Amino acid sequence: MIAIARAGWLTMAPAQPVLPSSLTDVDGQMLDLAGLARDYQLVGVTILGAWCEICRTELRQLAKLQKKLEACKARFFVMGPDSPQELRQLRRATGFQVPFVADQEFEVVGKLGLVRGWGEMEPVIFMTNRQRQITWFHSRYEGDLGYERLKQRIKCNKMIAQAVDALRRVSPKSAVR
């Protein structure tokens, strides 16, 4: 079992959480997760919400590195608990031009064990294998944003190292609530 434990709450996910084969993004387009996972390093990012300034800053940093990361065969998507309209505005504001998915009822993140006990989406970054099983995830609320391990998995060391440095500058442990 994958367990995320934090003061006063525990979320359990299946031994190998699996993403659905497809999702609908905030523009009404089908997001073929099965095809992306088969052909690329599929990386998901969950956010607390469009209101979260730390999340916005992280997405802006990823946007600056998007072309380089995609050259390393990484493909990202973002899931948030907000309305499609709010997530489209967030995508526009951050410049991170990847699919955004509204999961307002926690249908997807709930099956992945990424819902906090008080009803918030756990902000994590995760990777899947070709079968869309979550093989790695890291909570961005542990101070270490997890990009060192992501760097090793994507095998795009120099480019991910730049992201690590940039994100550490904008999201020090003390700034995370």
Q: What radius of gyration, in Å, describes the C-alpha atoms of the chain? A: 15
Q: What is the pLDDT along the chain (177 residues), one digit of tens a residue?
A: 344 444 333 344 456 789 999 999 999 999 999 999 999 999 999 999 999 998 898 888 888 878 878 888 899 999 999 999 999 999 999 999 999 999 999 999 999 888 887 778 988 888 899 999 988 877 765 554 555 566 666 676 655 566 666 667 766 553 433
Query: Which DSSP letter does residue 73 get?
Result: T
Q: Is the dihedral of CA 25, 48, 172, 19 positive or negative?
A: negative
Distance between CA atoms of 173 and 10, rounded to whole angstroms?
21
The owner of tokens 């999201």 is 171
Distance between CA atoms of 50 and 4, rounded to whole angstroms?
23
pLDDT of residue 102: 98
Tokens of 100: 């955004």
Query: Which DSSP letter does residue 104 get?
Result: T
pLDDT of residue 159: 56
pLDDT of residue 10: 36
CB atoms within 10 A of CB 98: 20
pLDDT of residue 177: 37
CA atoms within 13 A on the CB side of 143: 2
pLDDT of residue 150: 61
Domains and CATH numbers, the chain: 43-175 (3.40.30.10)
Q: Which of 154, 49, 134 has its CA nearest to residue 100?
A: 49
